[in-house]
Structure 1
């Protein structure tokens, strides 16, 4: 069994108190059974805080969020009291993993970094080289790929090659991905797409504001973002979505729909950047990182939202 990741993966480092959008705020943080058992052994003041700060009444224990939906162990300096007192090894599994995600195949596990994290977004979207996949671990066992896994991974390699063909614009590459999937994006105005996104579950008011801007802002005179630095950033975005989203087709069978979802996501994010340019007088890659962070947190981390958009791709 192998562990495989994008080549930038090992460069990731949490920026902790420097993060403008802490993952310790606003998210339900589950505590896995092994870590919960470990927390039960804690004594003294920290043991009391753990006892009071974890709700065990549900099937899955979780931290009780405080004022401002903050984790009870996130201090005012933006650091985790559990880390400062016990070390990183004391964290529950979800805190240890975030923003990492995994997809599982018959011969490998693939790991990546979610764009809901601003540090991950900075790393991925400003990565200048074509993304390649590297082997991080290999136990030497040569498991055989199941036929569905092999078929999907072969197709994904073809889509990667299209997405990374720098002889064409990213817009042309996105269209070619749709052609390869024998799909098209339904012809709707940006306002109509904004309404579809506004119907989805939303977390942050700032995301609602972004979508309202998409609905009401005229960007017909705003040029597409096609300078070299933008093209590379959007290429990385397309590759990220293909890497993360296509494997779910093994479960739901939405091979063509998942590919189209990747293209739709790129196009909506591109136009949100153009809206930002109108509303704020400028737009830069740092703004792209923030827009992508919101998109990922609001869409990718909600199965229901992704499913609703897949349905919208098949509606006339």
Structure 2
């Protein structure tokens, strides 16, 4: 097993109270059994709170209940986790220790090795800020090996081949393309009412938002859109075993188009990326809804 990761991955650190949009909300936070057992035997007032705020989730495992505002009860008013403050980082359940890190698994057929693709999710604003801070095209490292891989090198290492025109993103704001992107996203499972309302607004203001998104795209840091496109692509490279690589490229390109439309709607680039990721990347079913529809659409075009 080898591990590949963007070079900025090892320097990732949670912003904690400096984050403008905490992770400790909306999600049903599952608690692994070992940690749940620790919580069950935690004494004192904190133990009483743990007992009161742990429930059983839809799949029968322990999880935290959210408060009436949709936040984890143990998030304090300063945006810090009380479990870390009172019991230390090792007290966290597995998902809280790992998030927003992800690990995808695929195969390097050239070396006949299993491969882990590691990174941090774009639902985290720190990840987006790391991408924005990249001064050139994103590169990747292989744990235990010298040298770095470009995105094209990485594809080659995984025995994947992509037409050169698809190595870069060229967001399209033509009316039919924008309409298609919004229609595809309308078929996903909405994370909340706000998502549905924002899609409706965008559909009613397609032309205005498209013009504005095109202007905004021209003023972004030189490599950001390409890096964003490739990072979205990178997270789905394991799906190239089931889908054609051009399906994944289309998924990534259309995701960038939507993010720019959302940026035009809100004026907040970082939140536009994290909002898209919350809706799509953190609901695997939504990823497959999009990939399935893209697969069907591309083949109907070619027939």
Question: d(CA) in 2 for partners of 1:236 and 1:288?
Answer: 14
For the 8 Å contact 1:7–1:134, the answer to whether it is kept is yes
1:153 aligned partner: 158
For the 8 Å contact 1:31–1:94, the answer to whether it is kept is yes
Secondary structure of 1:74's partner? coil
Question: d(CA) in 2 for partners of 1:8 and 1:198?
Answer: 33
Question: d(CA) in 2 for partners of 1:258 and 1:53?
Answer: 40
Q: In structure 1, which of residues 87, 107, 110 is the aligned counterpart of residue 117 of structure 2?
A: 110
Cα 1:241–1:289, aligned 2, differ >3 Å: closer, same or farther? same
Secondary structure of 1:258's partner? helix
Question: d(CA) in 1 for partners of 2:166 and 2:183?
Answer: 30
Secondary structure of 1:4's partner? strand
For the 8 Å contact 1:125–1:289, the answer to whether it is kept is no
Question: d(CA) in 1 for partners of 2:165 and 2:143?
Answer: 22
Secondary structure of 1:67's partner? coil
Secondary structure of 1:14's partner? coil
2:247 aligned partner: 257
Structure 1 residue 152: Cα displacement = 7.7
2:94 aligned partner: 93
Aligned length: 279
Is 1:307 the counterpart of 2:297 in the alignment?
no
Is 1:83 the counterpart of 2:84 in the alignment?
yes
Question: d(CA) in 1 for partners of 2:249 and 2:293?
Answer: 14
Question: d(CA) in 2 for partners of 1:226 and 1:12?
Answer: 26
- Per-residue displacement from partner, 1:183-230 (whole Å, max 9, x unpaired)? xxx983534532432332222444334323321222364444454744
Instruction: Say which is worse superposed, 16-25 or 203-212, in terms of deviation.
Output: 203-212
1:216 aligned partner: 204
- Per-residue displacement from partner, 1:214-272 (whole Å, max 9, x unpaired)? 2122236444445474441101111101210121233x344332222112112222333
For the 8 Å contact 2:160–2:245, the answer to whether it is kept is no
Instruction: Say which is worse superposed, 54-63 or 118-127, in terms of deviation.
Output: 54-63
Structure 1 residue 160: Cα displacement = 8.9
For the 8 Å contact 2:181–2:254, the answer to whether it is kept is no
1:163 aligned partner: 167
Secondary structure of 2:116's partner? strand
1:66 aligned partner: 67
Q: 1:194-213 to 2 correspondence within 5 Å?
A: 194-213=182-201
Question: d(CA) in 2 for partners of 1:304 and 1:230?
Answer: 32
CA-atom RMSD in angstroms:
3.0
Question: d(CA) in 1 for partners of 2:211 and 2:155?
Answer: 45
Q: TM-score, normalised by structure 1?
A: 0.77
Structure 1 residue 290: Cα displacement = 1.0
Structure 1 residue 301: Cα displacement = 1.3
Q: 1:264-303 to 2 correspondence within 5 Å?
A: 264-273=254-263, 275-276=264-265, 283=267, 287-303=268-284
Structure 2: stretches of 5+ with no match in the other structure: 107-112, 146-153
2:110 aligned partner: none
For the 8 Å contact 1:225–1:231, the answer to whether it is kept is no
For the 8 Å contact 1:203–1:298, the answer to whether it is kept is yes
2:148 aligned partner: none
Structure 1 residue 81: Cα displacement = 0.8
For the 8 Å contact 2:233–2:252, the answer to whether it is kept is yes
Question: d(CA) in 1 for partners of 2:226 and 2:88?
Answer: 37
Q: TM-score, normalised by structure 2?
A: 0.80
